Amino acid sequence: MDEADRELLRRGRLRLVGELQVAELWDALLSRELFTRDMIEDIQRAGCGSRRDQARQLVTDLETRGRQALPLFISCLEDTGQDVLASFLRTSRQAAKQDPEPVKPLPHLEPVVLGPMGFKPEEQRVGKLEPSQPAPGHLTPVVLGPKELWPARLRPEVLRPETPRPVNVGSGGAHDACAPETIRERADMAYVLDSDPCGHCLIINNVNFCPSSGLSTRTGSHLDCEKLQHRFRQLHFMVEVMNDLTAKKMIAALVEMAHQDHHALDCFVVVILSHGCQASHLQFPGAVYGTDGYPVSIEKIVNIFNGTSCPSLGGKPKLFFIQACGGEQKDHGFEVPRTSSKGKAFDSDSEPDAVPYQEGPMTFDQLDAVSSLPTPSDILVSYSTFPGFVSWRDKKSGSWYIETLDSVLEQWARSEDLLSLLLRVSNAVSEKGIYKQIPGCFNFLRKKLFFKT
């Protein structure tokens, strides 16, 4: 969908959500192949299944359905007797194409000469201030142009005495002067992980996929699974591994885990190793595939453990580690001055955890405030790659992301918080291979998190 149609949908979102009769549209949307039956079922389950929630989700997902999505949607409205909305969209679309909004030039900035006390020359004469007779505490006259908007001597280049300076701890990174041990002991600064075991860790490892899914076997994933199974046991988690689950069984396993009593525990971890793809979203991008080839959105997985669905984890950190592709783009990177040769060679044993997307490239939702939902706190979702890009896995040594995550946890979990650990992972993975990959995270934790070691 081009940007003009996308903008039209956003401007008309309030009216569409308020008036759209979604129940009458499903057959028309299917017949024009705007959505698949599975997509429509996901829309029908949006929110609490109310008409308004379904309408909001439909308008949101419509942006991802290709260049002809809006005219086809208008035809669906006409077929179902919703002529007023159809006319509103068609007229707005025609007007937008006939009268595009002009690009406004940037305002021109004129240099200004300031005299003593910051007065312009003509203001100096009025105030009887002469350049040869500066007032006490004056500032040297400066010329301000487009690139110099503040006297250099006023820039706050020195930290205030009460501000802790970064100190080098000899590990290649900078840390606050406040020691991790001090932060760990303060409940207002760090999560308290006192219980032993400190929580559950569920690992879903999908390796073998149905032939009809078109998804390849994820050779080498068992190495990832074994590494993290060992690592999280070392970090005092109760680890459960589930292999080769369909989409429905994945959801069932997660729901069952959410229904357990976590009151006596301090943390919760989910690791998913699978193929992945892009997916429309309100909060968290991406989806992972079950072995039957059906995707489960990361957003749905995370929300199974929100405060409403899993109250016994309320206020406790919930961590999600996703080893899967975020799309099918391959990143060739860009050139920078070479500082080291740490990069891992890309060879024939490296393969992506993705499946070619069959319906054209997707774009990411850029939602307005009306359709956005509040994101639960105490959640961190760590992705193996940037949304839209592939995530590489070596058949002999496992995925780049999990291999690095395990190594970083082994070396630094005793002394560093989770976000610092994930920065190390991102930096190390970014140096690997001819094709490039950069992990990242969506962080909604309220405090620092130090694993129990």
Residue 338 has pLDDT above 70, yes or no: no
Q: Is the pLDDT higher at 152 or at 228?
A: 228
Burial group, residue 237, by CB count within 10 angstroms (0-12, 13-18, 19+): buried
Q: What confidence category does residue 358 fall into, taking pLDDT thresholds of 50, 70 and 90?
A: very low
Q: Which residues contact 169 (CB under 8 A, 6 or more apart)?
A: 175, 415
Q: 124 or 51: which carries more pLDDT confidence?
A: 51
pLDDT band at 355 (very low <50, low <70, confident <90, very high): very low
Tell me which of 173-187, 245-259, 265-279 is least confident: 173-187
Residue 148 has pLDDT above 80, yes or no: no
Distance CA 436, CA 154 (A): 42
Domain regions of the chain by residue span: 3-98, 112-144, 184-333+342-444
**Residue found by looking up tokens 């260049």 in the block:** 67
Q: Which residue has the higher pLDDT, 135 or 214?
A: 214
232 vs 64, residue with greater confidence: 232
Rounded CA-CA distance 324/399 in Å is 9
- Backbone Cα Rg of the chain: 27
Pairwise CA distance, residues 65 & 53, whole Å = 19
Can you spell out the DSSP letters for 149-180? -S-GGGS--S--TTSPPPEE-SSSSEE-SS-H
Say what the alpha-carbon torsion angle 17, 22, 26, 32 is, to the nearest 10 degrees.
Answer: -50
Angle at 409 (CA atoms; ends 408, 414), nearest 5 degrees:
115
Q: Tokens at residue 129, please?
A: 């201030």
Q: How many CB atoms lie within 10 A of CB 407?
A: 15
Active site residue 325: yes
Can you name the CATH fold of 184-333+342-444?
Rossmann fold (3.40.50)
- Residues 247-257 have a mean pLDDT of 96
Is the pLDDT at 246 greater than 90, yes or no? yes
User: Is the model's pLDDT at 8 over the cut of 80?
Assistant: yes
Instruction: Tell me which of 76, 201, 225, 325 is the catalytic residue.
Output: 325
Q: What CATH number labels 3-98? A: 1.10.533.10
The answer to whether residue 175 is catalytic is no
Return all residues near 50 (Cβ < 8 A) that are at least 6 apart: none
Q: Which residues pair with 145 in a beta bridge?
A: 148
User: pTM of the prediction?
Assistant: 0.53
Q: What is the arithmetic mean of pLDDT over 156-162?
A: 37
Q: 200, 236, 262, 275: which is the annotated catalytic residue?
A: 275
Between 109-123, 151-165, 338-352, the lowest mean confidence (pLDDT) is in 151-165
Mean pLDDT of the chain: 75
Task: State pLDDT tens for residues 374-416.
Answer: 346 799 999 987 766 666 667 777 888 999 999 999 999 999 9
